[in-house]
Amino acid sequence: MSYFHATFADRIDSILENGLSAGYKQNFDYAEPGVYLCTSAEIAVGFLLEHVIDNHFDFASPAEARESFRVIVVDRSRLDERLLALDPQLGPPFGSEQSTCWIYRGKIDVRGMPILTVDDIFIERAS
């Protein structure tokens, strides 16, 4: 099983060098420190899009914003299951064992993991 973490293209080099790490930089002020993961790449992109809208990013166009999005595929084998929990920001029905949103309270080595663009996710799914 894979999880997905959305971020910006300009953060990829640092993430590959240092790993995804709890508390490094949270996209939402109210979010508790952790690495937020989704079981759907589309949902991960949705959260990043929400962050862009809420914070009035200065992209020249929607296409420029889309081009800056990346989704890191995180294989479950990279995780210590003891550090993985349901996303505390989401209540039922999301806060259940069928949840699509999770928080990881540790560091994840993502070297060698696939990194997707928005087009990889949505165009592939549409065809």
Length of the chain as a residue count: 127
> How many domains is the chain built from?
1
Name the pTM for this structure.
0.86
pLDDT in tens, 29-70: 666 889 999 999 999 999 899 888 888 888 888 889 899 999
Distance between CA atoms of residues 18 and 46, nearest Å: 25
CATH number, domain with residue 29: 3.20.170
Range of the domain at 33: 2-126
pLDDT of residue 30: 61
Confidence of residue 127 (pLDDT cuts 50, 70, 90): low
DSSP letter string, 30-77:
TSPSSEEEES-HHHHHHHHHHHHHHTT---SSHHHHHHHEEEEEEEGG
